[in-house]
Structure formats: C-alpha cells, structure tokens
Amino acid sequence: MDKKIRQILIFICGLIISIGFDQAAKNMAVTHLKGKAPFVILEGIFELYYSENRGAAFGMLQGRQGFFFLIATAVIIFVAWALWRMPAEKKYLPLTCSLFLLVSGAVGNLIDRLINGYVVDFLYFKLINFPIFNVADCYVVIATFLLIFLFFFYYSDEELSFLSFGAKKDRSGEENQH
C-alpha cells in the first residue's frame, strides 16, 4: 500500500473512532444525566453533570454558532492541507495522531451545534469548580499540548518545512515550487 494512502487511512480511521466515541459519550450523557442530579464519581472532586453549552470554552461567545462553524471549517481545511503535504513517514505518525484529535474535537462539537444548537458537556471537576466540558474538548486540549511539544521539542524546523507555503518536496525528494 502506498505510504500516503496509509497515512490518510490512519487519519480517517482515527477520526471516525474518536468522533464516534465522543458522540457515544454525549448520547449517554443525554440519556442518563439530562434532567437528573449529577452522578458523583469522587465526592467533592469529580462528577458527571449534564450541561448544554451554547458558547465556547468557559461559556464564552454564547450563541455565536456561525463563528464556531467558521473556526471548525478553518481547522479542517488547514489540517487537510497539512496532511496532504506531510511526508508519509513513520516519524510523522505522532503529528498525524495529534491532527486527527484536533479535527475530532472540532467536528465532535460541530455536530452538536448543527444538530442541537448547543454542545453537550458533562465532565465536571467540582474540586476546582472547573467549567463543565466533554470528550471533544479533551481531544482539542490533548492535541494542542501534543502539537506544542512536537513543534518545539520533537521535530526540527526542516522536518516541519512542509508547512511553509513555499517549496514542496515531491516523492523523490526533489523540491518543486508551488
């Protein structure tokens, strides 16, 4: 199998599995938590608490669904562009995984916004009164930290040169101007 096709298949499979898990978790939250008292996991520390978020993280930008759609679309387009240009080498597997987590988070919450007009949140760290969040939010946070680590500590500038808008190396390693 061609390495590029394999890389894209890994991305798509990761995307399908992670979005499916996010949507299943949200469905379970709606089914088992909506209209009920929170389900306490660790008394005073962590509980499952149903919430409908019409904004972004921490409840910011309430009711700005069009804005969230544009942001999610921009993320998806950028990631598709980066994935297409990314070398199909094993070294880039961590980056591929980080990108599918980022897109999974964006798409998972976008699905909620399109279907419900809000995002289902249900994970609550009561100990620190942290805003209620969901699995898709976890994907975005994990992906962001992974990307920061990969960009600053794992990949060299040369290894990330495919992200520039200048030259692109073809499969033979020769540089082409685009």
Other residues' Cβ atoms within 10 Å of the Cβ of residue 46: 16
Give CA angle at 132 (128, 138), nearest 5°: 100
Which residue type is seen at 170? D
Residue 48: DSSP 8-state = E
- Render the burial of 65-95: b for 16+ CB within 10 Å, e for the rest: beebeeebeebeeebeeebeebbbeeebeeb
Asked whether residue 102 is assigned to any structural domain, the reply reads yes
Is the residue at 178 inside a domain? no
Residue 169 lies in a domain: no
Residue 63 belongs to a domain: yes
Asked if residues 66 and 90 have their Cβ atoms less than 8 Å apart, the reply is no
Q: Is residue 144 part of a domain?
A: yes
Determine which one of 22, 112, 137, 157 is catalytic.
137
Q: Average pLDDT, stretch 102-121?
A: 92
**The total number of structural domains that make up the chain:** 1
Residues 6+ apart with CB under 8 A from 79: 99, 102, 103
Q: Which two tokens stand for residue 149?
A: 């680590």
Residue 178 has, within 13 A of its CA and on its CB side, a CA count of 12
The answer to whether residue 35 is domain-embedded is yes
pLDDT tier, 170 (very low <50, low <70, confident <90, very high otherwise): low
- Are the C-beta atoms of 158 and 175 separated by less than 8 Å? no
Residue appearing with tokens 């964006």: 106
Which position among 2, 22, 112, 121 bears the catalytic label?
Answer: 121
pLDDT in tens, 8-35: 999 999 999 999 999 999 999 999 999 9
Question: And the tokens for 23?
Answer: 């949507």
Domain of 59, in residue numbers: 3-160
Please state the pTM of the whole predicted model.
0.84
Whether residue 137 lies in the annotated active site: yes
Q: What is the tens place of the pLDDT at every residue in 51-102?
A: 998 866 555 555 666 777 888 899 999 999 999 999 999 999 999 999 999 9
User: Looking at residue 66, what is its pLDDT?
Assistant: 72
Residue type, 169: K
Q: Evaluate whether residue 17 is within a structural domain.
A: yes
In a domain? residue 41: yes
pLDDT (tens digit, 9 = 90+) per residue, 119-138?
999 999 999 988 899 999 99
User: What are the backbone angles phi and psi of residue 86, rounded to the nearest 5°?
Assistant: -65, 135
**pLDDT value of position 166:** 63
